[in-house]
Amino acid sequence: MELPVIWFIAISVLWIGYFVLEGFDFGVGTLLPFMGRRNSVDRRVAINSIGPVWDANEVWLLTAGGAMFAAFPAWYASLFSGFYIPLFAILIALILRGVAFEYRGKRDSDAWRTWWDRAIFFGSAAPALLWGVVFANIVRGVAMDADHIVTASLPDLLNPYALLGGLTTLSLFTLHGAIFLTLKTDGPVRARARRAALGTACAAVPAGAVFLLWTQAAYGHPWTLPLVVVAASALVSGVAAAWKGREGWSFAFTALTVLTAVAALFGALFPNVLPSTTDPAFSLTVDNASSADYTLTVMTWVAVVFLPLVLLYQGWSYWVFRRRVTGASVTGEGVTAPDGPGRGDGAAEPRRTPVA
């Protein structure tokens, strides 16, 4: 197998990892206003469920973007210039979200926390929507000239297929996050999350089914059909498991849904990396967008050495913070308090909160 193809697969895996892991982060943030409208402790329980891992999950995005830049510079250049507005909006939302996690508890004020909770909601819901719009357009193709300059305007990117892709990722990530909360929390938040999961499924299942069928019919290949079937089956199975209260299986099924759905998108894209709707001859492909073999060889050795270390560390962090989060654990009732002065209901940094 040629190195450009290997790195196309590697970048696909990095994006899959990002969407599987950051997907439930986005879902938790999107559901935050509904986890305890008048109860800051319940909102803190929801935040603390992703507190130890949300920033580590974003490393997958940085790695995927860096790999695209190094392995396929032409793809990176055309994509980030042609999709400047939606990608810039995603960047602003992610920055706002990160700041909100850190600043939410810096003041013991309900009004202060409410504003930062709104920032977490926007910083989660906007990327969840826009990533679907972006990747649907990548698969569909955009207007691009012979110099690989994207000439499509913002209204061109808001086509029906892309908007359906955005609705699919938003609803699917919200469902994924709701099921994660049922698995990771207890008490009122767990009960609300279960209701949210079943309610969100009413949008995620039909949107996901139509989007997957549209993708396969218009852009798919014979080898992507099994991925589409598995994604649709796993989505229905995840909702059924959530209905029966089997949270572990439900989360595994929604994770499998995201994994196979994103894999189907990259499978439909191959061998292109950015199709041109102006003229197929202007499309960027795995061959004409890749770096030199020497660059790809060096990247391969770096990945072989360091990727297993990163995976081991992230797996270890999930294992350490595997227990459920409850109201007692975030308020310090029934657990050993950390050294230093108590910070009351305004505790800001979920990563420093003991988990019982």
- How many angstroms separate the CA atoms of 347 and 356, rounded? 16
Tell me what pLDDT residue 105 has. Answer: 82
Tell me what pLDDT residue 332 has. Answer: 63
Tell me what pLDDT residue 324 has. Answer: 84
Weakly modelled stretches of the chain, pLDDT under 50: 334-356
User: Could you count the other beta carbons within 10 Å of the beta carbon of residue 276?
Assistant: 22
Phi-psi region of 165 (alpha: psi -120 to 50; beta: other; left: phi over 0): alpha
CA distances from 163 to 93, 130, 160 (A): 19, 9, 5
* Assessment of whether the complete model's pTM goes beyond 0.85: yes
Tell me what pLDDT residue 38 has. Answer: 63
* Residue among 245, 242, 238, 244 nearest 261 (CA): 238
Tell me what pLDDT residue 343 has. Answer: 35
Residues 6+ apart with CB under 8 A from 26: 124, 125, 127, 128, 173, 174, 177
Tell me what pLDDT residue 326 has. Answer: 79
Tell me what pLDDT residue 37 has. Answer: 64
Structure tokens at 338: 């950390």
